[in-house]
Structure 1
Amino acid sequence: MIAVLGECVADGFTARPPAPPASPSGAPGGGAGEVALRVLPGGGPANTAVALARLGTHARFLGRLSGDVFGALFREHLSASGVDLSAAVAAEEPSTLAVASLDAHGQAAYTFYAGGTADWQWTSHELELSRLGQAGCLHTGSLALVRDPGRAAVEELVKAAAARATISIDPNVRPTLAARSDYQVTRWCEWADILKLSDDDLEFLLPGVPVERACDTWHAAGARLIVITKGAAGALISLDGARATVPAPSVRVVDTVGAGDSFTAGLLHDLETKGLLGGRLDGLDLAAAVQAAEFAARVSAMTCAVAGADPPWASQLAEPAPRL
């Protein structure tokens, strides 16, 4: 089992409805100036849990789920994908909302409405070690480790879990919600075994620093496996300083929403099926890490080929992804 700790976010995608006919006087119709909002369940950790479950891994989600309309949407989505919600917390606060705009390449930019929302209100008693059950791996990151008031409780749990489980972290930086100084990646690597981030994350965290030097810094701090995704350029895999690259499959991109989260899920799923999680990655070599990243790239590419964070099911992996 893999436990995933973090947020659910309501991803709102904007679209302007067709303009209604003008009135006989020539004035705009009643719908003028409106923006329609299509809301889908999202949030990096929740997306990762969904992708893991769809691939066939027992995924337990530790999240604070609101009782509002978005919280009901999250529960339905997670449960329908097979995610274990037995460790989720019923929260009184409202859900977090992110309004996304897509550029010509399907890349999303988000405006967050996150003040006082459910995802960040963790307390220590809500994050007792028993919530992990028999999980051999705990994945977290995104905003869970940087947003007050709950980040201290999250960090306490992750450090305690490191004594018995593989720890995976994805910073998934959000510059509009957290400062560079909030992302204590080097310190997190003291108890993380796997660090996955994007090249955009790297540029925000260590602007101008060559990727090899960044990897060496984080290896020295304690992380054994570092994976840096680079969009259409594939991914860099660094295991204790030994490095390799993995190409990205060529697909017809609808959008990139959830692609990084699906990559993380694919990586962890492959390592789990090979019995490599549950400790300090002692049995992992570079060849196995590359194979896991190749599988992850396939899962990520299939997510890019559909709208929103909609990762593939295991049965779909035998189907060819839509190509360019």
Structure 2
Amino acid sequence: MILICGEALVDLVPGEAREGELAPLYPRLGGGPYNVAIALGRLSTPVGMFTRLSGDRFGVRLLERLHEAGVDTTEVQVGPEPTTLAVVELDERGAARYGFHTEGTATPLVEEPGELSPEVEALCFGTLAMVLEPGASVHERVLFRESERGRFTALDPNIRADLIGDPAAYRRRFHDWLPAVDLLKLSVEDAAWLAGSEPATESPELFEALRNWLGRGPAAVVLTRGSDGIAVLTGDGGMVEVEAAEVPVVDTIGAGDTIQAALLCWLRRSGALSDGAVRTLSEEDWRAALSFAAAAAGVTVSRQGAEPPYASEL
């Protein structure tokens, strides 16, 4: 089983606006780690989630949807705090920007789990859960502890810069995580922010930063490039690239999360859910893995909100 560690929240997504009025906001269940868990469940991959939910109506529905997707909720905590909210803005290309309401909500108040089930083969971390305290420190300790015990770990920082009060401190913390990370996946925008190399372009300086991070511990670094596809930098210094799926884009909510889930799904099905196995994947293997992830993301961006595909759709 792959255990997804991080937040579950509600995205408030804009609908069609009448002239002279603000667009109505519609609630959609989401959060980066939550989307990864739902996507893995829909891809028929054994998956569980470690998070804290509210007992309010949003939290109840978030929990129900996990069950509907076949996600194990043994490590889900429920508290009296309200659900974390994200207000979504979409640009003319369907790309999403987020404004978060986190103070006093359930996400940051997650408590440390006990011993994990022996069924847990791998853990995946990222997004707000690695930023908002005191929960960020809880997730960090779990990352270090389970990596030390030999479990496969994946990280998608999924940077939300508006919530990071001290960027330099976060970047230092990110560097500290890398020796405990087996698979690092991030977007071009996230990589540029972490490297301090704005604007977000694929410059030589950016790839120098990626190779530096690769040398600190991960077996591979996967870079998502929006409509330009996906690339992976491998431990032997190589790079494999695939194109994005050619589909009409409704919005990009959940696209990167779908890619992360599809990669983990492919690795598990291929018996490659370990640091050593990832380091021995061939160029052909990586092309197959990235193509599977691109196809899955293509389904997600072709419909509104974070609605990842089922295995039958691929």
Amino acid at match of 1:176: D
Structure 1 counterpart of 2:5? 5
Tell me the equivalent position of 1:321. none
User: Contact between 2:155 and 2:183, CA under 8 Å: does it hold in 1?
Assistant: yes
The yes-or-no answer on 1:49 pairing with 2:37 is: yes
RMSD of aligned alpha carbons: 1.7
Quote the residue 1:14 is aligned against: 14
Tell me which of 226, 230, 233 is aligned to 2:225. Answer: 230
Deviation, 1:185, is 2.4
Bigger fraction of residues in helix = 2
1:206 equivalent among 195, 202, 213: 195
TM-score (structure 2 length as normaliser): 0.91
Deviates more, 1:5-14 or 1:206-215: 206-215
**Pair 1:54–1:17, CA change in 2 (3 A):** same
Structure 1: distance between partners of 2:32 and 2:174: 17
What are structure 1's unaligned runs of at least 5 residues?
A: 20-31, 318-324
The residue correspondences of 1:87-106 to structure 2 (distance < 5 A) are 87-106=75-94
Partner of 1:171: 157
Q: Is 1:180 aligned with 2:167?
A: yes
Distance in 1, matches of 2:45 and 2:306, equals 18
Unaligned runs of 5+ in 2: 198-202
Give the alignment of 1:1-324 within 5 angstroms.
Answer: 1-15=1-15, 18=18, 35-124=23-112, 127-130=113-116, 132-162=117-147, 163-178=149-164, 179-181=166-168, 182-183=170-171, 184-208=173-197, 210-240=205-235, 241-280=237-276, 281=278, 283-317=280-314
Q: Give the length in aligned residue pairs.
A: 302
- 1:190-226 Cα deviation digits (max 9, x unpaired): 1100000000101111133633212211122111110
* Cross-structure match for 2:200: none
Q: Distance in 1 between matches of 2:89 and 2:26?
A: 11
User: Secondary structure at the residue paired with 1:143?
Assistant: helix
**CA offset digits 1:29-59 (Å, max 9, x no partner):** xxx8565220010000000000001011011
Q: Distance in 1 between matches of 2:230 and 2:167?
A: 23
Give 1:67 deviation, angstroms.
0.2
User: Structure 1 residues 105, 218: closer, same or farther in 2, change over 3 A?
Assistant: same
What is the CA-CA distance between 1:133 and the residue it aligns to? 4.0
% same residue = 34
